[in-house]
Amino acid sequence: MRSVRSWAAQALGSPRAVAMVAMATPDDMRVNAEHIAMADQFVEVPGGTNNNNYANVELIVQIALRAGVDAVWPGWGHASENPDLPAALTHHGIRFLGPPAGPMAALGDKVGSTLLAQAANVPTLPWSGSAVRVSVDECAGGVIPPSTYSAACIPLDDVEAAVEACQKIGYPVMLKASWGGGGKGIRKVSSDDEVRAVFKQVAGEVPGSPIFAMKLAPASRHLEVQLLCDMHGNVASLYSRDCSVQRRHQKIIEEGPVTAAPEDSAS
């Protein structure tokens, strides 16, 4: 919000040229959260877990409609990576300041994003969906045929299918929940017995998520390049970052720019 105020002052002559409506929970009110004071208007929302407030797509859309906003910026976490939010806002003629629902659905899902990478001829590690083929348009549009998607996954109730997939890939292997993140739903396995021991744990940490297996890349680094795109087709790189400092597969520090790879590979 502060950056929007700064931009509005420079580009439009007044920091209040863009009116902002914010949501505020009882906890936000209690601590006098800074975003409340920075907003032109705030709407009180229920407290408790985020499905009652910041992750509640229906609530966000209702508030946006009542307030008559032109666009919604979701911030980080909560509903920011839920494709239902941009889909619902677009349905009501409200812009979502983020990816459209289709690309968000494809890239926010590990199986879908890996299928998209394969479709675009991006090199991928051997995994349970290596033999699965799908078009770029299907992936980017978020409409991968269910039978095609399932062919890349391991049945949730079949640990022996997981063992077979890992044997085919070759140990060591990472078992992953497609919807996992933050260190949840991911385990390294080096034998059939380890697969049998952790398969239910992986599935249980992210209930309902598809499970897949992928070859472990030893002595590797986690490097990212962030891209910013607009509705007119303009694309800009926001440069690279190294996210290799992790604890239990959860990123702790992100450093940029990347120094562990050639500049032309990380830009």
Over the stretch 112-157, which tens digit does the pLDDT of each residue have? Answer: 899 989 999 999 999 999 999 988 887 766 678 889 999 999 999 9
Instruction: Give the mean model confidence (pLDDT) for residues 48-54.
Output: 93
Q: Are residues 203 and 252 in the same domain?
A: no
Q: Are residues 116 and 195 in the same domain?
A: yes
Judge whether 256 and 225 are in contact, CB under 8 Å: no
Q: Are residues 183 and 229 in the same domain?
A: no
Domain with residue 48: its CATH number is 3.40.50.20
Q: Which domain holds residue 55?
A: 2-98
Q: Are residues 116 and 178 in the same domain?
A: yes
Higher-pLDDT residue of 103 and 2 is 2
- Number of domain units in the chain: 3
Which residues lie closer than 8 Å to 220 by C-beta, 6 or more apart?
A: none
* Among the listed residues 61, 65, 25, the one whose alpha carbon sits nearest the alpha carbon of residue 42: 25
The Cα 68–Cα 62 span in angstroms is 10
Q: Are residues 43 and 23 in the same domain?
A: yes
Q: Are residues 49 and 111 in the same domain?
A: no
* C-alpha dist (Å) from residue 18 to 21, 68, 187: 10, 13, 46
Share the mean pLDDT of the chain. 92
The Cα 171–Cα 163 span in angstroms is 10
Query: Whole-prediction pTM value?
Result: 0.76
Q: Are residues 92 and 112 in the same domain?
A: no
At 142 the pLDDT is 66
Q: Are residues 114 and 206 in the same domain?
A: yes
